[in-house]
Structure 1
Amino acid sequence: MPGVSAPVIKAPVVKLVQRTTEPAGVQTLRSTAAAVIAYSLAVALLPQPAPLTAPLTALLVVQVTLYATLTTGIRRVNSVVVGVLIAIGFSALVELSWWSLGLTIFTSLLIGRLVRVDEFVPEVAISAMLVLGVSQVADTAWERVWETLIGAVVGLLFNLVFAPPVWVRSAGSSIVGLADRMGDMLRGMGEEVAGNIPVSRAAARLHEARRLDHDIVEVDASLRQAEESLTLNPRVRQGLLYRVVLRTGLDTLEICAVVVRVLSRTLTDLAKARTEEELFPADVAAPLRQLFGHLADAVESFAELVTTPLAADGEAAEDRLAEALTRSRASRDLVADLLLEDVQEHPRQWQLHGALLAEVDRVLAELDTDERAKRLGEELDRRSAEVHDRRPRLSALRRRLGRRAA
């Protein structure tokens, strides 16, 4: 039936398209295209029947982002050229055997550290082994060098002509995912403040909050890739602004994650001290649950604000954040008054009540829109001054690329 078969046919296609938009999929397609172009050009220009060094070099030079290509391309080319020259020298002196192969690898790794190719030292030995396996290397020495240069030029020009994609959306999705996990955690805490909560359950919530550190590491890696894709990209006019917005947003969420972990610790300590009674009285538990819910809404709205590209949607996200913060502050004041009355009647663990309110205040202070605007301005000024002072030529190149894109 047509109505049944259409989704079955469509689903794999949708998955394939989604995969090709991921960094790994794009890197695979771009590297393959650059290698094929380098090989075809080498076949047309050089007498070698199989100039595989050219696609090898192009494969090593092409990166996901333009910034990575420009910053690491020179070191990659250097590593490949050094490996080729080492293989040429050994092939002219000795035949290929186990001991000559070992000596070639040892020499390549040693020279690779001397020429300062940094993380590409193994590629010196890899290039030397690949070229050493070709018969009569000494007779085709210059051809191998030309193959290497052709592959390097193709790899560099490929990313200059076909600008790599910008990974802002994937980084934004990672930030939103982190905020959603924090929001779910805060709502879960709100559901547990009523009645008696077992210590094991509170400890499990604390362990879950501690795992946020691993999530932050993953989000930071995604954000670093997005920052590289924005740097020197001619398709991006305000790369510095995007980088600062995303980076400061992640910094804020990281601080909030620490506070959430401390908040879980406070609730766990309360659960240990009140094993035979309610964690909070009924008149306090209800507004406290609302407070946690409003905090969750504020964290999620903040993530939506820092990852929204359009001005109109950004204003809507800022309005939602402001409303969530207003509700959170009102609930916080109500809970503070109720906790004060409760502490006066039952002063046990009063310090934990104060710690809970202080942790809520820290989250609200980090998410405050006025403070964020001030922090953004300061960070933009600082980074602009650093780039201009450290790399005046790079600043001029960015301005030139920005004018061309405009």
Structure 2
Amino acid sequence: MPDLSEQVVDLAKRGGREPVVAQTLRSATAATLSYIAALWLTNVSAPLLAPLTALLVVQVTLFATITSGIRRVTSVVVGVVVAAGFSAIVGLSWWSLGLLILCALTVGHLVRVSEFVPEVAISAMLVLGVAQVAETAWDRVAETLIGAVVGLLFNVIFVPPVWVQSAGEDIEDLAARMRDLLLRLAEQSETQRLSVTRAEQKLDEARQLDQDITTVDASLRQAEESLRLNPRVKEGLLTRIVLRTGLDTLEVCAVILRTMSRSQADIAARRTGEPLVPPEVGPALRDLLANLARAVDSFATLITSQVNEAAEEAEDNLMHELEASRASRERLAQLMLTGVREHPRQWQFHGSILAEADRMLDELDVEKRSLRVMEELDRYSRERRERVRRLRRKARIRVRSSR
């Protein structure tokens, strides 16, 4: 069993790769530093509010740290102001406490401090419940400011890592699961006696992809946030758009894959003990699904490639796999057409397989992906120009009203 020192070293190494570990290490360090700073700068014997604020302020990303720090300080200041107003009018009693909490929570929602709304009421109660309101209020504000400033400076000096690589790995893992499911469906297409249980298992795996996409989406949102206001990043907007549009495409492909699995499960239930497709059609269907599996894998590699040469190679691989998939699709269509003439009751399943394959090929198309990225860049530019125009209009209105 490894000793404690080895475990600590391993934890530190993982900090650069795992957001939870990084957050734990950074929060503990910032909280300790804020406590030391509060001891130096205030007369409070145990300024625990400073490390508490640092714990709440320090986030995995710099953008989240700045926004949470502003909201945290605002909530405490507002709570102190509300308590100071109450202390000048009424003392502490059961009815004044209830009224204070009601007013503090209402004001907290009005100033939009989000998750720190309860902190407005907490600060107001703590300040109102002491004899020396003014001194306590100042100490509470000072500790909060120290904790927020230390937490902010900590993340400015020790810039949080960019979580693009972690999000890219999650996207690649998702694509790998989709690829593996497509390959298993390809193997299943040549099974002489298709089991209903096996077909339903594949359908359950396809449904599980929805939860996987939710997890990857959360990881990608964190990566997108880590790109904002981060001095390490040069092309943050393009990276965000490429990853986001890529995940959207994989999400559509997951829906298509679930439909394919549903179709195979339905056929298996209707034809117990029979092959999914006629023997002469099975190899062509297997080739199509296998090519689609490799295309999905190549697509994930393309959208997660950060180096130009790697991206070009991934794009070439994707185009090759898409061409192979289209050729397999045409061969399968010809074989299915002949089979439908001999067995008319199979036309619905055959048609759905071809339709879903066409949809997936369309989603993975390289030109469509490039067009989507350009559209998102244009949309962002328009929104940014519109925000600038609105700010200028507001500034002109304020200047005119002040005259």
Q: TM-score range by the shorter chain?
A: 0.7 to 0.9
Greater shift, 64-73 or 173-182, is seen at 64-73
Using the alignment, how far apart are the partners of 1:328 and 1:73 within structure 2? 52
| Distance of 2:116 and 2:144 partners within structure 1 | 16
Q: 1:339 to 1:11 in 2, by over 3 A?
A: farther
Match of 2:147 among 151, 154, 157: 151
Q: Secondary structure at the match of 2:59?
A: coil
**Measured at CA, do residues 21 and 130 of structure 1 come closer, stay the same or move farther in structure 2, by a change above 3 Å?**
farther
TM superposition shift of 1:188: 1.2
Q: Does the 8 A contact of 1:57 with 1:80 survive in 2?
A: no
1:290 aligns with 2:290: no
Give the counterpart letter for 2:375 in structure 1.
E
Paired residue for 2:227, among 230, 234, 238? 230
Please list every run of 5 or more consecutive structure 2 residues that lacks an aligned counterpart in the other structure: 392-403
2:267 aligned residue:
270
Q: Secondary structure at the match of 1:164?
A: coil
Other structure's SS at 1:348 match: helix
The aligned counterpart of 1:187 is 183
1:142 maps to 2:138: yes
Q: In 2, distance between residues paired with 1:65 and 1:285?
A: 50
Matches within 5 A, 1:231-246: 231-246=228-243
* Per-residue deviation, 1:219: 0.8
Residues 1:41 and 2:37 aligned together: yes
* Shift, 1:244, TM fit: 0.4
- Which one-letter code corresponds to 2:379 in the other structure? R
Q: Find the counterpart in structure 2 of residue 23 from structure 1.
A: 19
Structure 1: how far apart are the matches of 2:92 and 2:106?
A: 20
Secondary structure, in 3 states, of the residue corresponding to 1:282?
A: coil
Q: Which residue identity lines up with residue 39 of structure 1 in the other structure?
A: Y
State whether structure 2 residue 77 is matched by structure 1 residue 81: yes
Partner SS state of residue 299, structure 2: helix
Contact 1:89 1:138 in 2 (8 A): no
Q: Which whole-Å CA distance do the structure 2 matches of 1:353 and 1:46 have between them?
A: 77
Aligned to 2:320: 323
Structure 1 363/343 Cα, relative in aligned 2: closer, same or farther at 3 Å? Answer: same
Output the amino acid matched with 1:200.
T
Q: Counterpart of 2:36 in structure 1: which amino acid?
A: S
SS at match of 1:217: helix
Cα distance in 2 for partners of 1:163, 1:10 equals: 26
Identity, in percent, stands at 60
Any conservation in 2 of the 1:38–1:55 contact (CA below 8 Å)? yes
Decide which moves more: 125-134 or 103-112: 125-134
Distance 1:381 1:191 in 2: 43
The CA deviation at 1:345 is 1.2
Q: Check whether the contact 2:195–2:273 (CA below 8 A) recurs between aligned residues.
A: no
Specify which of 163, 166, 188 is matched with residue 159 of structure 2: 163
- Equivalent position amino acid for 1:296 in 2: A
Q: How does 1:6-405 map to 2 (within 5 A)?
A: 13-14=9-10, 17-19=13-15, 21-86=17-82, 105-128=101-124, 136=132, 138-194=134-190, 195-391=192-388
Q: Using the alignment, how far apart are the partners of 1:275 and 1:18 within structure 2?
A: 50
What is the Cα deviation at residue 152 of structure 1? 2.4
Question: Does structure 2 conserve the Cα–Cα contact (< 8 Å) formed by 1:91 and 1:138?
Answer: no
8 Å Cα contact 1:284/1:335 also seen in 2: yes
Instruction: Encode CA deviations 1:12-55: one digit per residue, 9 max, x unaligned.
Output: 85465225531122222222232233222222222222222222
Contact 2:322/2:361 (8 A) holds in 1: yes
CA contact (8 A) 1:244 1:376 kept: yes
Which range is displaced more, 381-390 or 100-109? 100-109
Letter aligned with residue 213 of structure 2: I
Aligned twin of 1:403: none
Matched residues in 2 for 1:319 and 1:343: separation?
Answer: 36
| Partner secondary structure for residue 231 of structure 2 | coil
Per-residue displacement from partner, 1:289-338 (whole Å, max 9, x unpaired)?
A: 12211111110111111011111211222222122212212211111111
TM-score w.r.t. the length of structure 1 is 0.86
In 2, the alpha carbon distance for the partners of 1:172 and 1:132 equals 50
Kindly indicate whether the alpha-carbon contact (under 8 Å) linking 2:62 and 2:155 is maintained by their aligned counterparts in 1: yes
Q: Identify the residue that residue 398 of structure 2 maps to in structure 1.
A: none
The 1-side partners of 2:175 and 2:213 are apart by 10
1:173 is displaced (CA, Å) by 1.1
CA-CA distance at 1:81 after TM superposition? 2.1
Return the alpha-carbon distance in structure 2 between the equivalents of residues 290 and 269 of structure 1: 22
Contact 2:35 2:47 in 1 (8 A): yes
Alignment partner of 2:45: what SS? coil
